[in-house]
Amino acid sequence: MQKSDEFSSRWGLIFATIGAAIGTGNIWRFPRMVGANGGGTFLIPWLFFLFVWSIPLVIAEFALGKRSRTGTVGTFRIFGGRKLAWMGLWTAWISTAIGFYYAVVAGWCMNYFRLGFTGGLDSGIDTVEVWNNFLQTTELVILFQSLVIAITLIAIWGGAKMIEKANTFMMLSLFALLFLALFLALWMDFSDGTPDGVLFMFSVDGEILMEPETWINGLSQSAWSCSAGMGMAITYAVYMRKDEDTTLNAFTMGLANNSISIIAGLTVLSAIFAVQADPLATVTGGSSAITFLALPEVFAQAPGGTVTQWIMMWAFFLALTFAALTSMISTVELCVRNFVDHGFSRNKSVGITGSAIFFFGLPSTFLWIHLDADGVAFPEFLEVQDHIWGYGLMFSGLFIAYTIWQYGWIAWRRKVDLGEAEEGLMGYIRHGVPAFRDEFVNTGDNDVWIGPWWDFLMFIAFPVLFTVLLLSYFGDMIANTPNVWDPSNPHGITIIFLFWGVVGAIFIGFNHVLASRPLYRNVPEGAGAGADISMLPGGDDPLVANVGDVIEGWEHLSSPEGVMDAELS
């Protein structure tokens, strides 16, 4: 009989969620955003939206996952009712679809660690030639993609305990490696007597701060770099111990994520400002251009001789690899958890997900590898995938917010029917708006009490910011993309709507299949009222049970280990 699975300690959960939040975007996209938005000026809106957008959403995800004790599909089925299971499938799909090409990107990072360690990026080497040869050697790209997937699958095969160990090791290593790289980068920056990179990183320009674009970019970076709304926190909350504090963990995760970004940004900017004649042009040249073309040339000029240069080269790219791997672990586990919830064995779930990540990621290794105007290889198919699915994450966040709004409405109507609340807008504000926070956030296990400010952010600020983010993204695309409405244009707007529409329609049509399957909750022993779902929309679903329970009509499948395996054998 299968038993529930959980992390062994708070630190295990914290390192896992930090690993989910920290990815390549913290290390290569963040410095570019800082460079393009006035240095330290950008840090103000970026930090502001950490507390206005990211942390509130992560708090919601932790609360949802801890109570539902299922992945994204089960969480929406329990909190939204059987008709909304498709929203959880959308969230799982978006994350997994990003994982298809993210495994390829992580392979790039791993290869550059190899090159840095073996001297393949030493001074005098043409970094454009190295990049072009690698990207155009499909077999080598697939090899490193495969290594990334293999390491990821090993890390999650053993469940929560193995995920905990893998993330703890890689996160501690990442911190140590980035601090080592930062020390060497500051040495470079200070060696000429003027810490230009440090000054730029923390200098504020009032005019740039007043530009709406700076704030929109800060919101965009915060929304994507912290994994808020992606379902990662929902997934890892399934393995929380029953008395785990969701709110403190959410703040810890967000602050740790931003701390890594600042360390990485300071490392990159300090090194580039120390040796480049036009550092801003280098920084704003594109994320891959910074990471794989500019930085090897910069690190090869570090003071202290070949030993220092060698250490800086491999330390930075190993840190980047660990960041990519921990994000891959959470991405794959999100998909695996949903399979396990619906009866697949973990072994089969890991095998199915790993195979899908590999095969659907293959096109990104060789399709549409073009040379741009400067003769630099450009993976256009991979970029198109990111173009289509990257902003689909916004709707995952919207669906999470919707479940909170819906629960507030249900709780208020229930009290009205019992004569405990008044009708009208004020009744909803008094009894409906705080309902989710009172029931699932401030549970008594949290060290940080969350006040009405969270309700304001989730009910008022979030929909406004969501609208601003969506309109700014598509508005910029319409204004700056030639033939933007041409459906054959891979960078246009129509292709996004087509893919979103088709996938959304399929998932909505598939909803009845999801809702007709048994759903097994990973409820730890002694969870008590902390796992009660009787008052939730999915609480009366006869096909929802705890791990190891027998569902009437499914007696021959008394454990999730056997449900799908028996049917597929």
Burial 511-534 (b: 16+ CB within 10 A, else e): beebbebbbbbbbbeebeebbebe
Which two tokens mark 184? 């060497």
The CA R_g of the chain, rounded to the nearest whole Å, is 24
DSSP for 132-187, please give it: HHHHT-HHHHHHHHHHHHHHHHHHHHT-HHHHHHHHHHHHHHHHHHHHHHHHHHHH
The residues, ordered by sequence, that sit 6+ positions from 260 with a Cβ below 8 Å of its Cβ are 22, 26, 27, 174, 175, 178, 323
131 near 293, Cβ under 8 Å? yes
> Rounded to an integer, what distance in angstroms lies between the CA atom of residue 155 and that of residue 352?
15
Strands 519-521 and 377-379: unpaired
19 near 171, Cβ under 8 Å? yes
Strands 369-371 and 377-379: antiparallel
Residue whose tokens read 């539902």: 68
User: CA 251 from chain center: how many Å?
Assistant: 16
Local mean pLDDT, 10-residue blocks, the chain (569 residues): 75 90 87 91 96 95 95 96 95 95 96 93 88 95 97 94 94 94 91 86 93 93 86 93 86 93 93 85 71 88 87 93 95 96 92 96 93 87 90 90 95 93 92 95 85 96 94 92 92 93 95 92 80 89 87 61 40
69 near 521, Cβ under 8 Å? yes
Q: Phi and psi (nearest 5°) for 521?
A: -90, 140
Cβ neighbours, 10 Å, residue 40:
18
Say which amino acid occupies 480: N
Which two tokens mark 336? 């695996």
> Rounded to an integer, what distance in angstroms lies between the CA atom of residue 434 and that of residue 412?
10
430-434-440 Cα angle (round to 5):
150
92 near 267, Cβ under 8 Å? no
pLDDT of residue 564: 41
pLDDT of residue 301: 86
End-to-end Cα distance, the chain: 19
45 near 219, Cβ under 8 Å? yes
> Rounded to an integer, what distance in angstroms lies between the CA atom of residue 8 and that of residue 26?
28
- C-alpha torsion sign, points 84, 85, 91, 94: negative
> Rounded to an integer, what distance in angstroms lies between the CA atom of residue 329 and that of residue 67?
23
Tell me the β-bridge partners of 369: 379
* Fold category of 10-543+550-568 in CATH: Amino acid/polyamine transporter I (1.20.1740)
Q: Phi and psi (nearest 5°) for 544?
A: -100, 125
> Rounded to an integer, what distance in angstroms lies between the CA atom of residue 435 and that of residue 441?
10
Domain extent listing, the chain: 10-543+550-568
> Rounded to an integer, what distance in angstroms lies between the CA atom of residue 520 and that of residue 333?
16
DSSP reduced 3-state for 229 = coil
Say which amino acid occupies 487: P
pLDDT of residue 511: 95
Say which amino acid occupies 69: R
